[in-house]
Structure 1
């Protein structure tokens, strides 16, 4: 890497930033190579002779910086001529940071503090769990956004899992003081990932809470009965007279779908909809399966993921025409009242071209006023009219 001797350069800031950036880049390397040599670009001959006084001033600044931090320098001899007099000048062409302690002294206090914390954490868990340096620093990286209290709880939890049989416990049953029932999170949480790496396990021995799907029969005979909650594959006594299934993303819409003969409404609950094929394997033989979710990037990603599980379904109110019609109902805020952000579109292999066009617009914000139109904002009667016209739904009455 080179540093240009620009007329307005702040030499100290440039060199300090270089060392800070290097430590940040190699924060989670088990063995960072030292010394670190920083190349300083020497000026061209014409530049040197035109701006000699300024270049000498900058060279002195580099020299002072190196002396201040006890760093070595190397020099090259340059010849300067004004047409009559020739003289030589020694200009610095590299600065060498000898070791980690010197680099930490140069870097910003925040970077220094973080680097020392992360490597102290790696050292602690390496000793406690007999880990090699690469493994211990990789665990520190997983937990970089966790404070010291949480880090200590994770090591305590790892010791507990090492010493106890937890096969009959759910994650919320683990009796360790200091954290809440939800603290462990799901199987992909950073806390669980770190504990598994500490113990050299693929996964923790836990009785995971089963995923569930909620559904309701829509026919006249059953519409007042309680919802069904399915937690394991439904393979016996499956319904045989269902011709229509609608999967909706949100609970308000789920509860508002009116009474309809030979139909079932499934509460997709976001990405949980991908469980449907596993829990309701008989569903794939149903003639008409419709998905209706939010018009936002998440909703369209869920639609593609659902189809990828093997469920062939149409969508309603999830294309560019629907967006134009219901755009006044859009929102710029998420559920926490924070502005929605654009994103890079992901592959969505199961979206139609029209659905994909809307997805890309909602990801990038191009040609859109709002990044989300929530399903609940669309009048339920508009959706039912589409179901009547396109899918021959026979609604008997509204709840």
Structure 2
């Protein structure tokens, strides 16, 4: 064992680390009437003999004992400094060997007194949150309490009211997630906090509600079909009785509406509007998309565009809900050469004039060319541009790129 003398500030820092790890469990135990939080910090591990003291140095030893005498931690309620005798230079000395803190408040007081960095733990608020949720009937565990304490006071009230409301509503199948009449709750709150709500109630609300049907807007671009004079634009709703104008061989997913509405003719192709980051969930279980020979994605060259591509590709690679096999997804005009070729069309601000930020997201499943383009626009360093919008790329170039993918 390494011989070491732990100074008061070092002991305070170690104690602070234990509090940061344990506070939620301790608060839950308090609420249940369990034993008080108790933690021990060893103050001189491996130093139990005069010989060990001599190896460290007598000056170091006396400075250490003086530091513990002056700091006054032992005078705090709930704090005990355990002493143990050691013979130093032939003189028996009762010197500190352990610091024992009983109770969270005592432990925090010891950290402050010893000069350690106080952990960012609001015990009074944590206890209030725990009591509020328990009064509402919530199940509490340390991880759950930590999650709840990250909410604002207003959101804690929403969470508690949701627990109470759900207890009186065992059947949610008559509502979508957006229709749930929970007091004070909006749909974005539920989307952001569904996991926490599940932890405190044992119910997965998003699974219990009826699904919000996906509505996909699409454009027919097969020239043979268009020559019949049939409708060019259509919509497909999940679960509805609906037939496409023709069974496509290729589905091209785009993000910009203009790119879909005015896409030029291509044999056997339907152009689908992806819907941004929701594309993976909206499109991955559409049967006719699962059946086509080619699924191709074309989005903006920006951080969001590559996030959408990565998520969509991962969703299509997994089997569908009805057991359909996974599908590969190709991309067009989302690689390094494209970014270089159209750099003059790049922008670095959003429509409101705000700088487009870099992205630190690590995206799996991109090709080397896609990764190069992603790094170009997402880098934390200087970037020539942050976005090339897909609708600005010339139509002829889009057709050439799509034809090249379909030929492979």
TM-score range relative to shorter protein: 0.7 to 0.9
Instruction: Give the SS at the match of 2:178.
Output: helix
Q: Distance in 2 between matches of 1:94 and 1:363?
A: 55
Q: Per the alignment, do residues 147 and 277 of structure 1 end up closer, same or farther by CA in structure 2, a change over 3 Å counting?
A: closer
Q: Per the alignment, do residues 2 and 112 of structure 1 end up closer, same or farther by CA in structure 2, a change over 3 Å counting?
A: farther
2:358 to 333, 336, 340: 340
C-alpha contact 2:83 2:96 (8 A) present in aligned 1: yes
Match of 1:98 in 2: 102
Match of 2:20 in 1: 24
How many aligned residue pairs are there?
A: 371
Q: Distance in 2 between matches of 1:4 and 1:229?
A: 73
Q: Distance in 2 between matches of 1:66 and 1:374?
A: 65
TM (norm. structure 1) is: 0.74
C-alpha contact 2:313 2:328 (8 A) present in aligned 1: no
- Report Cα offsets for 1:153-208 as digits up to 9, x if no partner: 2222332233245432333334455444x35534xx31x34444444334364333
Instruction: Give the SS at the match of 2:190.
Output: coil
C-alpha contact 1:334 1:340 (8 A) present in aligned 2: no
2:402 to 387, 390, 394: 387
Instruction: Give the SS at the match of 1:230.
Output: strand
CA deviation after TM superposition for structure 1 residue 102, in Å = 0.9
Match of 1:158 in 2: 163
Structure 2: gaps (5+ residues): 30-34, 319-325
Match of 1:311 in 2: 327
Q: Per the alignment, do residues 391 and 167 of structure 1 end up closer, same or farther by CA in structure 2, a change over 3 Å counting?
A: closer
Q: Distance in 2 between matches of 1:366 and 1:112?
A: 29
When structure 1 is superposed on structure 2, of 237-246 and 218-227 the one drifting more is: 218-227
Instruction: Give the SS at the match of 2:285.
Output: helix
Match of 1:265 in 2: 271
CA deviation after TM superposition for structure 1 residue 71, in Å = 1.7
1:278 to 285, 305, 315: 285
Q: Distance in 2 between matches of 1:271 and 1:339?
A: 17
- Report Cα offsets for 1:7-43 as digits up to 9, x if no partner: xx7x34x444333322221233244873211111347
C-alpha contact 2:86 2:93 (8 A) present in aligned 1: yes
When structure 1 is superposed on structure 2, of 264-273 and 321-330 the one drifting more is: 321-330
Q: Per the alignment, do residues 325 and 367 of structure 1 end up closer, same or farther by CA in structure 2, a change over 3 Å counting?
A: farther
CA deviation after TM superposition for structure 1 residue 87, in Å = 4.1
Q: Distance in 2 between matches of 1:2 and 1:221?
A: 85
Q: Distance in 2 between matches of 1:321 and 1:130?
A: 55
1:240 to 246, 249, 269: 246
Q: Per the alignment, do residues 34 and 45 of structure 1 end up closer, same or farther by CA in structure 2, a change over 3 Å counting?
A: farther
C-alpha contact 1:48 1:55 (8 A) present in aligned 2: no
Instruction: Give the SS at the match of 2:212.
Output: coil
1:36 to 17, 34, 39: 39
Q: Per the alignment, do residues 130 and 50 of structure 1 end up closer, same or farther by CA in structure 2, a change over 3 Å counting?
A: closer
Q: Per the alignment, do residues 325 and 333 of structure 1 end up closer, same or farther by CA in structure 2, a change over 3 Å counting?
A: same
Match of 1:396 in 2: none
When structure 1 is superposed on structure 2, of 89-98 and 112-121 the one drifting more is: 112-121
Q: Distance in 2 between matches of 1:175 and 1:244?
A: 42
Match of 2:136 in 1: 128
Q: Distance in 1 between matches of 2:182 and 2:239?
A: 33
What RMSD in Å do the two structures reach over aligned CA positions?
A: 4.1
Q: Distance in 2 between matches of 1:328 and 1:232?
A: 40
C-alpha contact 2:360 2:380 (8 A) present in aligned 1: no
